[in-house]
Amino acid sequence: MILEKYSIGIGDRFGMEGAAQVRALQKAARDGVSLVPVWNKSNREHSIIGTNPNDTLLAAMAAVKAASWTKPFYLDADHIGLATLDKFIEPCNFFTIDVADVIGRPADQSAADAFLNAMHQFRGTLVIPGMHKPITVDDVLLNSIARTYLLAVTEAGKVYRRIIAHKPEGSFVAEMSLDEADVPQSPAKLFFILAAVAREGIPLQTIAPKFTGDFLKGIDYVGDTARFETEFRDHLAVVGRAISEFGLPASLKLSVHTGSDKFSLYPLIRRAILDFDAGLHLKTAGTTWLEEVIGLAGAGGDALLLAKEVYAIALTRYDELCKPYATVVRIDRSQLPDPADVQRWTSAQFVEALRHDRACPCYNIHFRQFMHVSFRIAAEMGERYLKMLREHRSTIEHNVTTNLYDRHLKPLFVG
Ligand SMILES: [Zn+2]
């Protein structure tokens, strides 16, 4: 199973917006850009919502049918490890193997020695076409890979082999994610991590490094965009070289994760993938939930009241809701609107505060991040929330399609 050149992680907390997201991909197809959808739902999301991967498969199948999608689609076991893998094996055909927890734990000495011996040939100045400068390969660099990443790659190998014990090799896509690590991986490190991946025998098709800068939930990239651009282009050059050097699959490509909107990065990423003729996997899934809330708020009446209620309840459980996302949100609590004021808000006021429109003076990045992590409240409302989603289908689906196409696919893939 060879993953297409451009793929995008989609899906939504409650499994109702798949068709609306697929329609955004169909709009891109009419612009001449071929993209395939990869349904994502992490183990954490499943446990908060009370669903399992089979539910996501059913939602995905219903969505492709409703939207008359005829190209392939994938179901991602998103950020799984040995502890969480098993229930994903049967329904999934895409596995995001997350080894961030193992990063930093040293490999045993014999494995480290074997790796260092095999990499000895690269010592000196390594010139990779497309990189902004050559890599200096010395003992410091190679030892740091062996100390920090080798065991993590070994762990990914264990996950991969457990999958192939149950599914034929080549019948699924393997990704490795490093994006939830504490420290970014430099392009030089990525090159040797990919060397270790090849030695481990994992036919990796996408890899998600942690990039420099902050990717916070639902809002734009925070960081030096010029520095990101240099790093991203170097990563592309490294991936291209790793394919030929280590015999990794020709379809290997970068994966850009995070629930961040990263709008300011899209033009740079677009330029880079075109220049390098590279593929890309993009994940954006998390913000579809916000489009549901925006749709409800925009619908007015009881739907607006429900959106206000989600916020009011969430605020009373601030610490609990933010804690699992501590590293990926940066909320100034004093900038959150007073719930009594929110009670008086019109539809337009709620929508303008929440929608990611940097040109709008009422857009509140603290409110948006906080609502992003508050989906547990809607999950607890259960049928009351789902009924409202069903009643306001057309408004919500319009938002979901428009958001994905206009704000993500168009600037990144269509231009
Ligand atoms: Zn990720």
Quote the mean pLDDT of the chain. 96
176 CA from centroid of ligand 1 (Å): 9
Range of the domain at 311: 288-399
Is the predicted pLDDT of residue 91 greater than 80, yes or no?
yes
257 CA from centroid of ligand 1 (Å): 5
* Whether 238 and 310 share a structural domain: no
255 CA from centroid of ligand 1 (Å): 9
387 CA from centroid of ligand 1 (Å): 31
36, part of any domain: yes
3-state secondary structure the chain: CCCCCEEEEECCCCCCCHHHHHHHHHHHHHCCCCCEEEEEEEHHHHHHHCCCHHHHHHHHHHHHHHCCCCCCCEEEEEEECCCCCHHHHCCCCEEEEECHHHCCCCCCHHHHHHHHHHHHHHCEEECCCCCCCCEEECHHHHHHHHHHCHHHHHHHHHHHHHHHCCCCCCCCEEEEECCCCCCCCCHHHHHHHHHHHHHCCCCCCEEECCCCCECCCCCCCECCHHHHHHHHHHHHHHHHHHHHHHCCCCCCEEEECCCCCCHHHHHHHHHHHHHHCCCEEEECHHHHHHHHHHHHHHHCHHHHHHHHHHHHHHHHCHHHHHHHHCCCCCCCHHHCCCHHHHHHCCHHHHHHHHCCCCCCCCCCHHHHHHHHCCHHHHHHHCHHHHHHHHHCHHHHHHHHHHHHHHHHHHHHHHC
* Whether 395 and 410 share a structural domain: no
| Alpha carbon distances (Å) from 42 to 53, 84, 85, 147, 302 | 9, 10, 11, 28, 31
Q: Considering only 273-287, 336-350, 382-396, which range has the smallest mean pLDDT? A: 273-287
43 CA from centroid of ligand 1 (Å): 12
* Whether 105 and 84 share a structural domain: yes
* Whether 272 and 293 share a structural domain: no
pLDDT score of 43? 85
342, part of any domain: yes
390, part of any domain: yes
Longest dimension (CA), the chain: 68
| Contact present, 217 and 328 (Cβ < 8 Å) | yes
Non-local (6+) Cβ contacts of 272 within 8 A are 229, 232, 233, 236, 278
29 CA from centroid of ligand 1 (Å): 26
* Whether 227 and 294 share a structural domain: no
| DSSP β-bridge partners for residue 10 | 39
45 CA from centroid of ligand 1 (Å): 13
177 CA from centroid of ligand 1 (Å): 6
Tens digit of pLDDT for each residue in 35-52?
999 999 888 888 888 899
**For residues 249-255, average pLDDT:** 98
CATH of residue 265:
3.20.20.70
* Whether 277 and 312 share a structural domain: no
pLDDT score of 285? 64
121 CA from centroid of ligand 1 (Å): 32
* Whether 257 and 294 share a structural domain: no
Closest CA to 236 of 174, 173, 191, 266: 191
98 CA from centroid of ligand 1 (Å): 8
237, part of any domain: yes
313, part of any domain: yes
100 CA from centroid of ligand 1 (Å): 10
Confidence of residue 171 (pLDDT cuts 50, 70, 90): very high
79 CA from centroid of ligand 1 (Å): 7
262 CA from centroid of ligand 1 (Å): 14
178 CA from centroid of ligand 1 (Å): 7
Tens digit of pLDDT for each residue in 68-90?
999 999 999 999 999 999 999 99
**Dihedral over alpha carbons 56, 381, 309, 348 (to 10 degrees):** 30
* Whether 380 and 278 share a structural domain: no
**For residues 201-216, average pLDDT:** 96
**For residues 204-218, average pLDDT:** 95
300 CA from centroid of ligand 1 (Å): 34
181 CA from centroid of ligand 1 (Å): 10
Count of domains for the chain: 2
Is the predicted pLDDT of residue 294 greater than 70, yes or no?
yes
Tens digit of pLDDT for each residue in 109-124?
999 999 999 999 999 9
| DSSP β-bridge partners for residue 404 | none
109 CA from centroid of ligand 1 (Å): 30
pLDDT score of 49? 86
112 CA from centroid of ligand 1 (Å): 27
pLDDT score of 371? 97
Is the predicted pLDDT of residue 286 greater than 90, yes or no?
no
283 CA from centroid of ligand 1 (Å): 8
* Whether 178 and 58 share a structural domain: yes
1, part of any domain: no
**pTM of the model as a whole:** 0.95
278, part of any domain: yes
367, part of any domain: yes
* Whether 12 and 125 share a structural domain: yes
* Whether 340 and 208 share a structural domain: no
318 CA from centroid of ligand 1 (Å): 24
238 CA from centroid of ligand 1 (Å): 20
* Whether 207 and 124 share a structural domain: yes
